[in-house]
Amino acid sequence: MRTLSQLLYPALRMPSTRRRRMSFAVLLLGLLPGALAGQGIHLGVGTCANSTCHGAKTSLPGSVVEQNEFAVWSQYDKHSKSFAALTSERGQAIASHLGLGAADKAPQCLSCHADNPPAALRGKGFSVKDGVSCEACHGGASDWLGVHASGVNTHAENVAAGMYPTDDPTARAKLCLGCHLFQDEGPSQHRYYAAGHPRLRFELDTYTEERPGHHRIDADYRRRKPGSYGSRAWLLGQTAAARKIVEQLLETSEGALWPDYTVFACFGCHRKFGEGQANTAGLPPLQDAPIQLTALALSTLDSASGKPLAEALTELDKAFAAPGAKGWRPAATRLATKLAAIEKELRARGERPEDARLLYQGLLTRAVAGEFPRHHMAEQVTYALATLRLADPALAGTADAASNKALDALFAAAGMTSGFEAGRWREAAQGLAAVLPAAAP
């Protein structure tokens, strides 16, 4: 029996007028049980893996996509191995420490290590063992598969039918942050770390590239998906992460003695005593790198929002430093309000080619000056410099073996985690500035 994508493939080769005449028939093919109720059923990776869709070795003539997306995901993307991590020795040990039983059966683990929709939304070809598969990110396909495969719909129409808008950096960040910062796991997330789970960190553009990406952003892609790219996408990703961090903080119950420790920088406590790490208030710093970077970026770009955001963050820091940490909730609420307004402002801001250069220059200059002594900031700035370097054509054009080596050294210094040495990272930043200066021609 042929798959749905095989039935639809002839439509892809038809002239657009004929495709539109058969659009109703194609739509009916996509209406599987449950779709009429607006519930996207997850059909499984096999639905996408046909050679005429996303499972080909090479693109067919005239194709607007690579068509090897399934191969890239299954062979190189860590998301495809996420379920297998649950059955590993480490995965089983973590679940045991948490009292969850078998990790590959525990909802707390499956919610991030697999596509885990309710039983009623699982099609015949679905398997939780596929890990974080296509529909975990793009949404249950039953409502939009037919028109997507036919090419009749625009991308906006596919999204309206239920496809998740991963091309939108804000939407993509919110989706990714749901797992990559434990944001959706409730108020006791630190216990996962105590049980042995690796430390979670995230930066939208870096993680998007390292996934690895299974699409090409060319003129056709930008025409079909006129979203945000380059420095604007980076800044929207930072803002989304900043909002998530504050939202997590505000999830703390009114009667709780203290927020969950995951809202604080890990290495404010788990560190060597030494250069640049002391906190005069005796408190660990907040895990606020995305908030700080958003404020720095806005100030660099001459936005009026930069200073008020920095002031709101300072107000929150002071509230935590006060006896009994009284008053932190109102301060956090005001910070959340400012971030929501900033995100709205940024989404209305047009793409500006010069922004990448300004942001790269501002962050590298501060790094060379030693303004990022704490690990969580140095790590995020490292990600940012790598992203912004590629976002500026002039900087990307100067990339060579020397600049790549310097950037690798910066990543190595930022990757020392609890043994982080601010001086070593600053020296690496100075090395990057020597071969790939902020004022590149």
pLDDT digits (tens, 9 = 90+) for 177-213: 888 886 555 556 888 989 999 888 888 888 887 778 7
Residue 185 lies in a domain: no
Question: Is the pLDDT reported for residue 150 higher than 50?
Answer: yes
Tens-digit pLDDT profile for residues 82-100: 999 999 999 999 999 999 9
> Where among 164, 193, 226 does a domain terminate?
164
pLDDT tens for each residue of 212-260: 878 878 888 888 887 777 888 899 999 999 999 898 888 887 767 677 7
Radius of gyration of the chain (CA): 23
Give the single-character DSSP code of 271: S
Domain count of the fold of the chain = 2
Residue 310 lies in a domain: yes
Going from the C-alpha of 169 to that of each of 222, 239, 265, the distances in angstroms are 14, 10, 25
Please check whether residues 384 and 246 belong to one and the same domain: yes
Give a yes or no: residue 440 inside a domain: no
The average pLDDT across 73-80 equals: 92
pLDDT digits (tens, 9 = 90+) for 367-377: 999 999 988 99
Measure the CA–CA gap between 251 and 98, rounded to whole angstroms: 22
Tell me, rounded to whole angstroms, the distance of Cα 134 from its chain centroid: 16
- Could you read off the pLDDT of 426-441 as tens digits, one per residue? 999 999 999 887 654 3
Burial classification of residue 18, based on how many CB atoms lie within 10 Å of its CB (0-12 exposed, 13-18 middle, 19 or more buried): exposed
285 belongs to a structural domain: yes
361 assigned to some structural domain:
yes
Q: What is the mean pLDDT of residues 51-71?
A: 85
Cβ neighbours around 414 below 10 Å, total: 23
Q: Are 243 and 207 in contact (CB under 8 A)?
A: no
* 187 is a domain residue: no
CA pseudo-torsion sign 215, 220, 225, 231: positive
Query: Where would I find the H helices in 139-203?
Result: 145-150, 155-160, 169-180, 190-194
User: Domain of 304?
Assistant: 204-435
Rounded CA-CA distance 391/359 in Å is 10
pLDDT digits (tens, 9 = 90+) for 289-307: 999 999 999 999 977 778 9
Does residue 160 form part of some domain?
Answer: yes
- Mean pLDDT to the nearest integer, 44-64: 86
Would residue 422 be called left, alpha or beta, if left means φ above 0 and alpha means ψ between -120 and 50 degrees?
Answer: alpha
Same domain? 371 vs 292 = yes
Picking from 199, 184, 314, 318, the residue whose alpha carbon sits closest to that of residue 267 is: 199
Q: Tokens 């948490």 correspond to what residue? A: 98
Q: Is residue 190 a part of any domain in this protein?
A: no
Q: For position 182, what pLDDT does the model report?
A: 66
Residues 338 and 225 in one domain: yes
For residue range 159-180, list pLDDT tens digits in order. 999 999 999 999 999 999 888 8
Q: Which of 188, 183, 185, 213 is CA-nearest to residue 201?
A: 183
Would the pLDDT of 36 be above 80?
no
Specify the pTM: 0.83
Position 188 scores a pLDDT of 67
Judged by DSSP in three states, 286 sits in strand
